[in-house]
């Protein structure tokens, strides 16, 4: 069984993440998407919500499962018995950070291989943070996020929209 882990904060999962995970699911027998607690990043969505949204967004992929983890990625990989980590690469700006993480993970677990999948150009500029910002200002995010995430972001910022409507009518 060729099993790979796709780790991330997924705050929230974007169409770019889904694209990378779909590609990984065509290459590996099983893909385990591991949603990191990432407390330091102060996520907008709590861990359960990020797992639920990721699970719904990936429900069309039969060989993909979603779980959460807190702690080291290498320990999570050991727990799920995966020897490959898949990461998406958007632009050169991602490389420095991924290079560091790969080197650290190699020190911690030399038998863990990191596998990079390039984002297609249409998703290269996407990030969870930029989409949260767009949604917070009422920008259109259709097509950039799975429908369940679009709904969750709209609901989360509903009060902000209501305030905006209210002030524009005054």
Active site residues: 17, 41, 90, 128
| CA dist., res. 99 & res. 104, Å (int) | 9
Residue nearer to ligand PNS on the CB measure, 125 or 160? 125
Contacting ligand PNS (CB under 6 A), which of 4, 7, 45, 57?
A: 7
| Residues 127 and 17 sit within 8 Å (Cβ to Cβ) | no
Q: Which residues pair with 117 in a beta bridge?
A: 88
Burial label for 99, CB within 10 Å (0-12, 13-18, 19+), is exposed
Report residue 54 as tokens: 């990721």
C-beta of 74: minimal distance to ligand PNS in Å?
6
| CA dist., res. 111 & res. 61, Å (int) | 27
Contacting ligand PNS (CB under 6 A), which of 27, 103, 104, 137?
A: 104
The yes or no reply on residue 130 touching ligand PNS (CB under 6 A) is no
The yes or no reply on residue 88 touching ligand PNS (CB under 6 A) is no
| Residues 115 and 84 sit within 8 Å (Cβ to Cβ) | yes
> Residues 45-74: x/- map of binding to ligand PNS (CB under 6 A)?
---------------------------xx-
The yes or no reply on residue 12 touching ligand PNS (CB under 6 A) is no
The yes or no reply on residue 38 touching ligand PNS (CB under 6 A) is yes
| Angle, alpha carbons 76-48-162 (nearest 5°) | 140
The interface region with ligand PNS, picked from 3-11, 50-58, 131-139, 160-168 by CB under 6 A, is: 3-11
Residues touching ligand PNS, count (CB under 6 A): 10
The interface region with ligand PNS, picked from 5-13, 56-64, 113-121, 152-160 by CB under 6 A, is: 5-13
SS3 state at 44: coil
DSSP state of 39: G
Which residues of the chain form contacts with ligand PNS (CB under 6 A)? 7-9, 36, 38, 72-73, 101, 104-105
């Amino acid at each position: 069984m060729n099993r790979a882990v796709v780790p991330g904060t997924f705050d929230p999962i974007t169409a770019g993440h889904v694209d990378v995970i779909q590609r990984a699911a065509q290459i590996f027998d099983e893909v385990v998407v591991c949603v990191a607690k990432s407390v330091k990043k102060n996520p907008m969505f709590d861990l359960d919500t990020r797992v639920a949204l990721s699970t719904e967004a990936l429900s069309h992929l039969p060989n993909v499962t979603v779980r959460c983890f807190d702690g080291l990625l290498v320990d999570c990989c050991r727990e799920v018995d995966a020897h490959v980590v898949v990461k998406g690469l958007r632009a050169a700006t991602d490389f420095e950070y991924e290079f560091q993480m790969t080197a650290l993970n190699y020190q911690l677990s030399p038998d863990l291989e990191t596998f990079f999948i390039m984002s297609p150009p249409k998703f290269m500029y996407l990030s969870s943070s930029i989409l949260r910002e767009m949604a917070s200002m009422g920008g259109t995010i259709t097509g950039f996020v799975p429908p369940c995430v679009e709904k969750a972001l709209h609901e989360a910022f509903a009060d902000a929209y209501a305030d905006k409507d209210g002030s524009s009518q005054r």
